Amino acid sequence: MDTILILDFGGQSCHLISRRLRDFGVYAEVLPSDYSAKEIMARPEVKGVILSGGARSVYEKNAPEFDKAIFALDMPLFGICYGHQLLAKQLGGTVENGTVGEYGQQTLSVTKKTGLFAGLASKEKIWMNHKDVVTKMPEGFTVIGKTSHSAIAAYASKDNKRVGVQFHPEVSHTDHGTEMLKNFAVTICKIKPTYTSANLLKETIKEAKDTMGNERAVIGLSGGVDSSVAAALVARAIGENLTAVYVDTGLMREGETDYLRKAFGDKGLKLIIVDAAKEYFSALKGVTDPETKRKIIGTLFVRIFEREAKKTKAQWLIQGTIYSDRIESGLTKHSANIKSHHNVGGLPKDLGLKLYEPLRDLYKDEVRTLAKTLKLPKEITDRQVFPGPGLAIRIIGEVTPERAAIVRKAGDIIESELMHTKHWKDIWMSFAVFLPVQSVGISGDERSYKHPLVLRIVESRDAMSANFAKLPYEILETISTRLTNEIKEINRVVYDITNKPPATMEWE
């Protein structure tokens, strides 16, 4: 199959590039930034190379580079953000530290509507996230796009085979980013789109079979789409050798344990339910640091899985880890640690089981597509995202059973109000965050001194970027009224209107 290679320089949305390419049928692989020209030459199916973004400066000591011998391959190259700067620098251009950074959505003035920008408008909404800028192009290159702060926001060689853009076409905030990627893959690299989700399903099941053979495994099942898809895939690969373990941490959604029993109890999957609420609240007593919380939760999860694995004589632990978990945990080479996801950065070093993560390179929307291909029930495929550490990271400060009960009830109220509106289909997550402060209010004509809740409702396609939901005031007022009326510890509700970036989905 014709293939695009993406060299990973540690950008938060690197794998999102491959996900977008697969969206329109082009197969892509993400590889380390030092993947050599010799290795590429040995693969005739490779038709183009993309250099991803990254958190470093091209002039930093030990900044990641790539094999310059790739230039001799006469193969299309596409640099994105850091890759745009690195490509320019290695071809003889100049990169400087910009006086003003560009972050968020900007307007690109397209100066050449051919090649990468064929079929696009003269003005395009794009997503920027950079400080350094290209100030001088390599010889033989032309500016094809600029912004108010970047005179060389996009450039191309005369034959369009070498292009660079300072922005991120892979994120949903770039309005026609998919068209740009398609122009590169299909028009410039001349690839015929033949890749489908059925290919992905077949490959993933085969990989699981090849990896585990006839050995036994346990999977951490949470009821969310990631772990449910992972369980369905691995069950097809190893059948009765798989046992699902659901751990009730006391930090789950309202009615979650009963939901799991109904959703999976009669599906032919061996299911074990472990009540571990006391263990979790004990382990989290007095802990306020969010990174410590995540690591405690991750370690305890694994210790429980190890206990259950001994009972079933399992050698493998399966997790529904997806790519956004890994990249935010700083697990890939050159990537920065944003926060340690409990199933990645929270894993103990002395893990007593072999680890397998069938969804490790996929994004949430890609997992949902697999769920539909697997014909999983709609109540699983359409569920709102819920964090692995549960309500613990929606409680700022110490995690207690009382605070968990507040955010659990609040979450149930929020979802019940939103799911009957036309906005529900566009909402990625909706939840409350407990703040360990108090403010003066009025209750029954008397003074109250209670806690506030933060209402967080976001829309997203892939979890790598998100916008706060611009809901009508009437809906927000109804939710606020119910929260303050039905939860006696709350007298104030505030709405978080921050996008990702600069924020993350969760507060911790």
The class level of CATH for 400-495 reads alpha beta
CATH fold of 3-188 reads: Rossmann fold (3.40.50)
Separation CA 44–CA 307 (nearest Å) = 48
Which amino acid belongs to residue 295?
K
- Mind listing the pLDDT tens digit for each residue in 437-493? 999 999 877 899 999 999 999 999 777 788 999 999 999 999 999 999 999 999 999
Domain-wise residue ranges, the chain: 3-188, 197-381, 400-495
The CATH number of domain 197-381 is 3.40.630.10: no
Q: Are 435 and 450 in contact (CB under 8 A)?
A: no
Query: Do 400-495 and 197-381 have the same topology in CATH?
Result: no
Query: Confidence class of residue 241 from pLDDT cuts 50, 70 and 90?
Result: very high
E-strand ranges in 227-298 read 242-248, 270-275
For the chain, the average pLDDT equals: 89
Catalytic residues: 81, 168, 170
Percent helix, strand, coil in the chain, to 5, is 35, 25, 40
- What is the pairing mode between strands 242-248 and 270-275? parallel
Percentage of the residues of the chain whose pLDDT score is greater than 90? 63
pLDDT exceeds 90 at position 189:
yes
User: Lowest mean pLDDT: which of 34-38, 110-114, 192-196?
Assistant: 192-196
* Residue 201 predicted with pLDDT over 70: yes
Token pair for 318: 């399966």
